[in-house]
Structure 1
Amino acid sequence: MNTQHVTPSKEQIALLPEFERLGPSRIALVSTAPQALQAHAELSRSAVWGFDTESKPTFFKDQLSEGPHIVQLSTVDKAWVFQLHDFDCRAVVAQLLALPGITKAGFGLGDDRKRIQSKLGVDVADMLELNTVFRQRGYRKDMGVKGAVAVLFKQRFIKSKKATTSNWALPSLSQSQLVYAANDAYAAIRVFHALGSI
């Protein structure tokens, strides 16, 4: 099918009502092995997860990122934000990402895959780049989470510039960082399910 679809402009998206994000009560911060094992048990009940990572920004040319510093996984009900400081917590995250048969869906995952291979020593099994799905359906440029939410839900997905460029390597993350990170993964799982219904 060669139908070409137009992605809405920034100006068009700005006029849309706001996408309802997950609030703090539906976001779990995971920084220890026991917390990670509990998350593993809850996540393994779902066949698809929204997936994203965050890394501390680099500010100089040729500066290498030591990320990812956090990994986000989400179902349609809840999101988990995994910090990777603790070695045992990191090992559980590696197990989750390497699990076959569970789709990990997200946007712009090329860098995420490389960084995870480097930091966690695993390849992400059954990873689904949602931009590829949109391209197959006739959208010419990368959709990204904002464009996808606008097309599928007629809503505006808000991303805080301050949170985007914040320090994800901090031992203690702010609530705004948690909400930002969790909702990137949450929006991805919502988009995945919406694509399946059209």
Structure 2
Amino acid sequence: MTEHFVTPGKDQIALLEPFERLGLAQVQVVSTPQQAGKALEELAGTAALGFDTESRPTFAKNEASDGPHIVQLSTLEKAYIFQLQDADCRRAVAMLMESPAIIKAGFGLGDDRRRLISKFGVDPQGVLDLNTVFRKKGYRKDMGVRGAVAVVFNKRFIKSRKATTSNWANSKLSDAQIIYAANDAYAALRVFMALELD
């Protein structure tokens, strides 16, 4: 019989010590062809990256999202936030997403995957939804980054609700948006690495 584990609830997580996050100095916002080229160079040969996307929220009932507006990829030292207004930035992301040699690990990636296919016309390779890993381990509910950080590190992952619903299509992202987006990808990579070592 499969053993079932319970994901800690909000109240339990609130009591934990905070998870250490990347600071602004460890994040590169990629919005120009030069930055895109440099990011590709720095990420070449990476075996695994934390991965997530953000889209501007839609509020009208029948309004379809034209996201993602940013794609976040993170190593253990640095996160890259690709803004997708620039064609070279989109090309760089498409190349990274198509590479089967790089594992892109994140949470709840079904929607991200669909949006990437429709936006870039590429089928992402090497994408690992960490929720499937936790399900195999006996967790029934989708874990999400907050639950996973609590289970794996016994720490509280801080997420700003205001940043979640902010406008990710802005050409200038706020510091709060940058920290939020970078750490979603960074925490996913940390969880992936910890599970790999398990």
Q: Distance in 1 between matches of 2:96 and 2:193?
A: 21
Q: 1:197 offset after TM fit, Å?
A: 1.7
5+ residue gaps, structure 1, are none
Aligned to 2:102: 102
Question: Whole-Å Cα distance in 1 between the matches of residues 123 and 106 of structure 2?
Answer: 15
- Residue 72 of structure 2 corresponds to which residue in structure 1? 72
Q: Give the letter aligned to residue 94 of structure 2.
A: A
How far residue 88 of structure 1 moved from its aligned partner, in angstroms, is 1.7
Q: TM-score, normalised by structure 2?
A: 0.98
RMSD: 0.9
Q: Could you say which residue in structure 1 is the equivalent of 2:8?
A: 8
> 2:180 matched to which residue of 1?
180
Equivalent position amino acid for 1:147 in 2: G
Listed one character per residue, the Cα deviations across residues 144-196 of structure 1 (whole Å, up to 9, x for unaligned) are 00000000100000110000000000011111100100000000000000111
Q: Which residue of 1 aligns with 2:28?
A: 28
Cα pair 2:50 2:189 within 8 Å, conserved: yes
- Opposite residue 173 of structure 2, the aligned amino acid is L
Q: Give the CA deviation at 1:45.
A: 2.9
- Distance (whole Å) between structure 1 residues aligned to residue 182 and residue 195 of structure 2: 20
Deviations 1:111-163 (A, max 9, x none): 10011111111111110000000000000110100000000100000110000
Q: Per-residue deviation at 1:47?
A: 0.3
Quote how far apart the aligned CAs of 1:87 are: 1.2
Deviation above 3 Å: which 4+ runs of structure 1? none
- TM-score, normalization: structure 1? 0.98
Alpha-carbon distance in 2 for matches of 1:123, 1:36? 20
User: How many correspondences in the alignment?
Assistant: 198
For structure 2, the 5+ residue unaligned runs are none
